[in-house]
Amino acid sequence: MIVLTRVDYRLIHGQVAMTWTRTVGADCILVANDAVAASDVQKAALRMARPSGVKLVIKNVDDAIAALNSGVTDKYKLFVIVETIADAHRLAMSCPAITSINLGGTRSTDEATYHLSTAIFATDADLGLLRELAEKGVELEIRQVPTEQKMDASTLI
């Protein structure tokens, strides 16, 4: 069962490792990211950031989709983390089990001219992807930490 799907460009860091994992009661984290899955050093660094007592699986996005749709993840309380809105879109368009996406943080770049919240920056393309997800009925909620009020991103795009 997926307990949370989060977009966070920092992947596993303080808010994720210490606060979210505990609050949603996850026993397994899936990081779905093409670059990290292809880099042994990045994988090793993420393993060091893994919260204790939680399993960590790192896959590229295609393999993550296959795993989520195969049923092998059903026995876990799974916390899925992706780096970008584009990766979240890839995942959610192919995995019916993803019904909600938490927007935690995206990278502030020159192209990301839409500032949806303190930590969410989006490009034109991102907005289009978010609209598609909203039309599909996927909840899009902005929160950096669990105690914040959910902000509905679909009203901002």
In angstroms, the CA 76 to CA 68 distance is 11
- If one counts every other C-beta atom within 10 angstroms of the C-beta of residue 70, the result is 9
106 lines the binding site for other proteins (CB under 8 A): no
One character per residue 38-67, x = contact with other proteins (rule: CB under 8 A)? --xx-xxx-xx---x--xxxx--------x
Amino acid found at 47: R
Report in angstroms how near the CB of residue 116 gets to other proteins at its nearest: 19
1 lines the binding site for other proteins (CB under 8 A): no
76 lines the binding site for other proteins (CB under 8 A): yes
Q: In angstroms, how far apart are the furthest CA atoms of the chain?
A: 41
97 lines the binding site for other proteins (CB under 8 A): no
125 lines the binding site for other proteins (CB under 8 A): no
In angstroms, the CA 78 to CA 61 distance is 15
In angstroms, the CA 54 to CA 57 distance is 10
Among 111, 124, 132, 148, binds other proteins (CB under 8 A): 148
Nearer to other proteins, 128 or 146 (CB): 146
35 lines the binding site for other proteins (CB under 8 A): no
Q: How far, CA to CA in Å, does 70 sit from each of 48, 49, 106?
A: 28, 27, 29
